[in-house]
Amino acid sequence: MHGRRFVDVLHESPQNYAGAVQHLIRTIHTAIYAVMTVCLVYVLYCGIADQFGPWSYTAFAVVTVECVVFIGNGMRCPLTQFAKRLGTTDSTYLPDWLTAWTLRLSQAAYAGCLLLLLYRHPWS
């Protein structure tokens, strides 16, 4: 086997380890961001199209859990804080202009989802 294993490179230098952890956190954070965006858009679509089912409730639950985590952490993302403690300036691989608007846009979209769910749900 030629070359070195990833684990061997990490053990050689603390900077390599920190860089790998930063990359992992940014990758996970970007993936969570994408999943949350898809869930939010899907719930909005379901509310507008008046189509509710197990997937719409699951997506709404995922977004709700994210909101609870966000609110419980003082309106700050815990992964962003963790990434900054590791020394990275960016916590995702997304452009800064997009992440800067995330809180405002997601709050408005979540409020819209909640209102549509309450208004159009079959029990109402």
Q: What is the pLDDT of residue 38?
A: 94
How many whole angstroms separate alpha carbon 1 and alpha carbon 13?
Answer: 22
Residue whose pair of structure tokens reads 């819209």 in the numeric block: 112
Domain residues for the domain of 21 are 6-120
Q: In this structure, is residue 16 part of a structural domain?
A: yes
Amino acid identity for residue 37 in this structure: T
**pLDDT tens digits, the chain, 124 residues: what are they?**
455 555 555 555 556 677 788 888 889 999 999 999 999 999 889 888 888 889 988 998 999 999 899 889 998 888 888 888 888 888 888 888 888 788 788 888 888 888 887 887 666 5
Q: Looking at the 3D structure of the chain, how many domains does it have?
A: 1
What's the pLDDT score for residue 42?
93
DSSP 67: H
**CA 62 to chain centroid:** 10
pLDDT given at position 12: 59
| In-domain check, residue 33 | yes
Question: Distance between CA atoms of 30 and 58, rounded to whole angstroms?
Answer: 20
Considering the entire predicted model, what is its pTM? Answer: 0.77
